[in-house]
Structure formats: C-alpha cells, structure tokens
C-alpha cells in the first residue's frame, strides 16, 4: 500500500512539473505575431505515401495538399495542427475532431496537419514542444488563437466563426 501511494505521488509530482514547465516556458509563436513562412512537406512531395507525412492512421488528404508557405499565400485563414498521433492518443482524437470542422469549413479555411516525425522543421519554427498544439492564423498570416493540448469542436468552431466574420484582435 505504501509503495503504491509513493508511486501515485511521484506520478502526480511529475505531471505537476511538466504542466508548470509548459505554462511558464511557452516560447512558441504568440497570438498577435506573424507566423514563419516555411516550406513543409505535402502529399505530392512524398509521392502520395501518407506514411511519409503522418503517423495518423486515418489521414485526410485535404490536410496535406499545401505547404505552410503556400497556404499563407492563399489569403485564407489556416488551422495549423501540430499533432503526432503515433505517440499521442490526444492527438489522434484532435485530428478526428478537425476532420469534422474540415467538412464544415473546407471552402473557407485551410487545414494543415504537422506531424513531429515528418515535419520537425515546423515544430522548430513555431517553437512548440510536445503536442497537440492548435494555431488559427488569419488571412494576413497573424496568429489569432493558440491552444496547447486538446481543443473541443465547439470551441474551435466559435474561433473560426469569429475569424471568418472579420473580427479584429485576438480571439
């Protein structure tokens, strides 16, 4: 019993330290800043082989059509998802949720998925550690919303409606 309690305390302490570390040392691209325009892999770059662009078991080809630099030139809002479902259950759920929003907004918003294994340069450019991370970027390349961890469908739907409605400032 004592050994189990010590183990539980140790796990809780590590979770606490990880959370405090993530919150206090967030060096990632900030809301209100321009995003770095970088070339990221597309499905065409890897000859249509999903295994060379994502560790997601059920990828949606619409998330891999454009490189980030190309998406920024399109003049449309972007949902940029950093998720590595090959080692992250929350990332898997996050990408499932995004597919629902992609169905709703595909004519208005560009959805991009960056997998740490296949697009590490994007993780470095945005200075994100761990995943998932969700960024909503407006048509001018400015971060309007950023969230580490899981984002709910209704939350992101609300953010996208504000960005598409032309509301200025941070969402």
75 Rama sector, left if φ>0, alpha if ψ -120 to 50, beta otherwise: left
pLDDT of residue 168: 62
CA gyration radius, the chain? 17
Element (H, E) at 160: helix 153-164
Phi, psi dihedrals of residue 82, rounded to the nearest 5°: -95, 110
Helix (H, G, I), strand (E, B) or coil at 143: strand
pLDDT band at 47 (very low <50, low <70, confident <90, very high): very high
Residue 42 clears pLDDT 50, i.e. is over it: yes
Q: Which residue has the higher pLDDT, 4 or 138?
A: 138
> What percent of the chain is helix, strand and coil (3-state, nearest 5)?
40, 15, 45
Number of H helices, E strands in the chain: 5, 4
Closest CA to 58 of 113, 3, 20, 5: 113
pLDDT of residue 20: 39
- Please state which of the ranges 10-19, 59-68, 115-124 shows the lowest mean pLDDT: 10-19
pLDDT of residue 27: 83
Residue 157 clears pLDDT 60, i.e. is over it: yes
pTM over 0.85: no
Residue 107 clears pLDDT 70, i.e. is over it: yes
Residue 1 clears pLDDT 60, i.e. is over it: no
Q: Counting beta carbons within 10 angstroms of the beta carbon of residue 8, is it exposed (0 to 12), middle (13 to 18) or buried (19 or more)? A: exposed
- Please state which of the ranges 9-13, 41-45, 93-97, 107-111 shows the lowest mean pLDDT: 9-13
| CA 88/CA 132 separation, integer angstroms | 8
Tokens 């295994």 belong to residue: 51
Angle at 22 between CA 35 and CA 152, to 5 degrees: 70
- Sorted by where each starts, the structural domains of the chain and their CATH numbers stand as 28-164 (3.40.30.10)
Average pLDDT over residues 53-67: 96
pLDDT of residue 166: 76
Average pLDDT over residues 93-100: 95
pLDDT of residue 96: 95
What rounded mean pLDDT belongs to the chain? 87
DSSP alpha helices (H): ranges in 32-149?
A: 68-73, 89-105, 120-126
């Amino acid at each position: 019993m004592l050994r189990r309690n010590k183990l539980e305390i140790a796990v809780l302490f590590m979770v606490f330290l990880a959370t405090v570390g993530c919150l206090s040392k967030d060096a990632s691209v900030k809301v209100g800043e321009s995003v770095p325009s970088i070339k990221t892999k597309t499905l065409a770059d890897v000859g249509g082989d999903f295994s060379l662009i994502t560790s997601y078991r059920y990828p949606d080809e619409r998330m891999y059509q454009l490189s980030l630099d190309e998406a920024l030139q399109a003049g449309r809002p972007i949902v940029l998802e950093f998720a590595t479902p090959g080692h992250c259950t929350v990332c898997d759920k996050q990408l499932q949720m995004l597919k629902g929003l992609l169905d709703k907004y595909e004519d208005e918003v560009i959805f991009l998925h960056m997998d740490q294994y296949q697009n590490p340069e994007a993780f470095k450019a945005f200075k994100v550690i761990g995943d998932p991370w969700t960024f909503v970027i407006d048509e001018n390349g400015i971060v309007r919303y950023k969230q580490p961890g899981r984002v709910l469908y209704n939350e992101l739907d609300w953010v996208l409606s504000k960005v598409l409605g032309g509301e200025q400032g941070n969402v």
